[in-house]
Amino acid sequence: MPDASEQRLIDRINALRVETPSWGYGNSGTRFKVFAQPGAARNIEEKIADAGMVNRLTGICPTVAIHIPWDRAGDWDDLKRWASASGIAIGAVNPNLFQDDEYRLGSLAHPSATVRGRAVDHVRECIEIASTVGSSIVSLWLADGTNYPGQDDLRSRRRRLLASLKQIYADLPRGMRLLVEYKFFEPGFYSTDLPDWGTAYAMCLELGPQAEVLVDTGHHAQGVNIEQIVAQLLDTNRLGGFHFNARKYADDDLIVGSTNPYELFLIFAELTSAEDDVDPAVAACARRVAYMIDQSHNIEPKIEAMVQSVMNIQGAHAKALLVDRERLAGAQLRGDVLEANRVLSEANSTDVRPLLAAARKKLGIDPDPIAALRATGYVEKVSRERGSAAAGSGYPGS
Ligand code: RM4
Ligand code: MN
Ligand code: MN
């Protein structure tokens, strides 16, 4: 029987919520090839059904992020009802500002006012969708950038982008947040209009308190200290959310924690400590952070990959909760460099699997979600029912 402090720990582990992305359940790939997977979800209803399965297995994933127009529904109220029958609510609404022919030179920062206007209208539509489905987050990622020095005037691009964002911000209803995501390169190979957290943060400051920065863990150059970015954004109350994934080289969108488990732990160590910050504004910011997965699976089975990602997030979060904060603060104050470092690595090397099993038992779910998934036969069932949708080349038309 766990004692009272272990019960509190288990309750905190179970209080974590992780949102899964609709696009992680459909076929996706690299620009070279998309390998179709039997049973991959073909529409938003099937994506929601798969998200419902992930939620039943993990107990902590009750929402799914959608991407518009990929997931545009005929009737949003119908979709809402369908989702709630699977135990799912719609989470962040992601506008798509990168797949229209018009966006060759950008969207919100495009040189043409007409194209910028259409891009702004698309985000407005997403705000409306969010209101209709009861979501409080519109999450913005831009492919805007340039490929060659001189291609466009960099200061003009910044001004255009800010003006477009201000138009969007003015339409945000009370209680809705605009999360601004940055990425250092791709598809622009020379410049990206929102390349780093500082640029995104500066835009958010100009917009207002409902604009916050989104950190996608795969969107930094090699070696960047992401946990320090997290600390800066928490301390300035502008950390809005995460897109979790792992990477080895670029924006690889691999299973969370698969290549960088220590980094993931250090990120959670910042977050869990900020939840108890003496400054109530910092604690409030940490407590409203939206934890989302942004992952695409190229060759791995999608539902199992999603469950694995959620479990890796839970592992890093649980380890972060085990950090001995008092011992750490004492060592830091004394300047005991190695003792301070040891406090973190001791928490990180704890085997939290029994703790997580106890937490799942308390939720009334199987302590081993992967074994449970395999035992359901769900993947085989949807493979039979849905078959293989055509996927093909990563370069459509080639
Ligand atoms: C981008 C970025 C966005 C995601 C798209 C599909 O690299 O991470 O968040 O919506 O990919
Ligand atoms: Mn992302
Ligand atoms: Mn990305």
- 106 and 145 Cβ atoms separated by less than 8 Å: yes
Residue 390: pLDDT band (50, 70, 90) is: confident
The confidence score (pLDDT) of residue 398 equals: 41
Ligand 3 centroid vs 277 CA: distance in angstroms? 30
Q: Atom 1 (ligand 1): residue with closest C-alpha? A: 141
- Output the CA 294–ligand 2 centroid distance in Å: 5
The arithmetic mean of pLDDT across residues 89-114, rounded, is 98
The ligand minimizing its distance to the Cα of 24 is 1
- Taking CA atoms only, the protein residue closest to ligand 1 atom 2 is 141
- Enter the pTM of the model: 0.97
What is the signed CA dihedral for 283, 285, 288, 290, rounded to 10 degrees?
Answer: -130
Q: Ligand 1 pocket: which of 98, 126, 181 to mutate (most atoms <8 Å of CB)?
A: 181
Going by CA atoms, what residue is nearest to atom 3 of ligand 1?
141
Task: State pLDDT tens for residues 342-358.
Answer: 999 999 999 999 999 99
Whether the upstream peptide bond of residue 149 has omega within 30° of 0, thus cis, is: no
Burial class (CB in 10 A: 0-12, 13-18, 19+), 50: buried
Gap from CA of 217 to ligand 3 centroid (Å)? 8
Instruction: Give the number of whichever ligand sits closest to the CA of residue 26.
Output: 1
- Mean per-residue pLDDT for 240-254? 97
CA-to-CA distance for 99 and 107, rounded, in angstroms? 10
pLDDT of residue 396: 56
pLDDT (tens digit, 9 = 90+) per residue, 71-83?
A: 999 999 999 999 9
From 193, 243, 244, the mutation candidate for ligand 1 (largest count of ligand atoms within 8 A of CB) is: 243
* For the CA of 98, the nearest ligand: 1
- Each residue of 167-207: pLDDT tens digit? 999 999 999 999 999 999 999 999 999 999 999 999 999 99
The mean of the pLDDT values for the chain is 96
Evaluate if residue 7 carries a pLDDT over 60.
yes
With 90 as the cut, is the pLDDT of residue 44 above it? Answer: yes
Q: From ligand 1's centre to the CA of 387, what distance in Å?
A: 27
Residues 280-329: pLDDT tens digits? 999 999 999 999 999 999 999 999 999 999 999 999 999 999 999 999 99
How far away, in angstroms, is 186 Cα from ligand 3 center? 9
